[in-house]
Structure 1
Amino acid sequence: MNTTKDSERSGGEVGGEITRIAFSVPDLRAAIDWWAEETRIGPWFVIERIGRESATYRGRPADAEFAIAVALSGTTMIELIQTLDDNPSVYKEARTRSGYGFHHVGLFRRDVKQLASAYEAAGRSAIFQAEAPGGGNVLFVEGGMAGVGFIELIEDNEAMKKLSGALRQAAESWTGERQVRAFAELLG
């Protein structure tokens, strides 16, 4: 079992602590309701429409839009994604291949570009890149031979730390009220 913490890894070493688990869903509000009722996770912070701007998918400008919701369970962010159109995207690709459900795991890393190069050297190309809500960059790489899902590399920077801190504070103080909130609340 690998117990090396992300902070102990050398630059560009593949892997790291999983900080996000994401699911593709057909109905964002219904999925939020299920998670809140069945797991008591919340509150959920929603971006109603995101995509297109400065994003690339398989080397071309991305033209897809989607909605996302995030909440925290312990130290792991749960992300729900609903596509809003049928344009080519990393989300449509996964849905076409295996339907709705698990989509990707996310790793917060300071060395995202080096890590992407390490994945590339291992034959697993970056297929999606975009600016992250709140600051920084994200990119998705192929999930490997099992093809179960993708790996999202999330730039670990001050903006993301601030966002994560706000999400943690909201989760720790949540008593069930205002289950759905605007993502902008996290950006303060």
Structure 2
Amino acid sequence: MSRFFGQIRQAGYVVPDIEAAMDYWSRVLGVGPFFYNDRVPIRNYRYRGEAYEPHNSVALANSGPLQIELIQCRNDVPSMYRDFTRAGNTGLQHVAYWTESYDADLARLTAQGFVPVMSGEVGERGRFIYFDTEFHPGTVIELSEVAGPKGEMFRLIREAAETWDGSDPVRPFPDLSKL
């Protein structure tokens, strides 16, 4: 447990082929089921102060309490993911901490000197922000809001993993508007 952030709740991997990565994680490592969205609807996306429209595919599964996120960039929009792959990296790109007190935690972290680089929203009360903390691959820190439907989706994904028997290893994202 981090004395600054609490538990690491997610390990985010940037991959060149998300379908192959889901197959490997589920078939070889036994992690799943993966909930997959070919085009995550990100609103208010910003990278280094500029607005863009990313097309990212994302797959989520749990291994115990730790969520595994697989990310594939489908366009060349500036992002920390693109920076990571352009530097020749693949694999673990970030660790995420979840919060239901996003504004307070964001204020606390920026007061401590953390510099926001990339941010956006997924669903209602599903904001996220990445900080300029990459000193070697896999050390980027994400703060992810889970107070709304995104948090409910994460709970459903964790519960699906608890009883997963290996069948139906790739499933669609739950509809956040219905959670």
TM-score class, shorter-chain normalisation, is 0.7 to 0.9
| 2:16 equivalent among 12, 19, 26 | 26
User: Structure 1 residue 133: deviation in Å?
Assistant: 4.6
Aligned residue for 1:41? 31
User: Structure 1 residue 157: deviation in Å?
Assistant: 1.0
SS, match of residue 141 in structure 2:
strand
- CA distance in structure 1 between the partners assigned to 2:71 and 2:156 by the alignment: 20
Structure 1: gaps spanning 5 or more residues = 5-13
User: Structure 1 residue 145: deviation in Å?
Assistant: 4.4
Whether the aligned pair in 1 keeps the contact of 2:12 and 2:68 (CA below 8 Å) is: yes
Identity %: 28
Write the mapping of 1:1-188 to structure 2, written as runs, cut at 5 A.
14-50=4-40, 53-133=43-123, 135-143=125-133, 145-146=135-136, 148-184=138-174
- CA distance in structure 1 between the partners assigned to 2:63 and 2:123 by the alignment: 20
Whether the aligned pair in 2 keeps the contact of 1:134 and 1:163 (CA below 8 Å) is: no
Greater mean alpha carbon deviation, residues 117-126 or residues 40-49: 117-126
Whether the aligned pair in 1 keeps the contact of 2:9 and 2:98 (CA below 8 Å) is: yes
Gap change, CA 1:159 and 1:53, over 3 Å in 2: closer
TM-score, structure 1 normalization: 0.83
Whether the aligned pair in 1 keeps the contact of 2:42 and 2:122 (CA below 8 Å) is: no
User: Structure 1 residue 97: deviation in Å?
Assistant: 2.6
Q: How many residues get paired?
A: 178
- RMSD of the TM alignment (CA)? 2.3
TM-score, structure 2 normalization: 0.87
Extract structure 1 runs of 4+ deviating beyond 6 A.
Answer: none
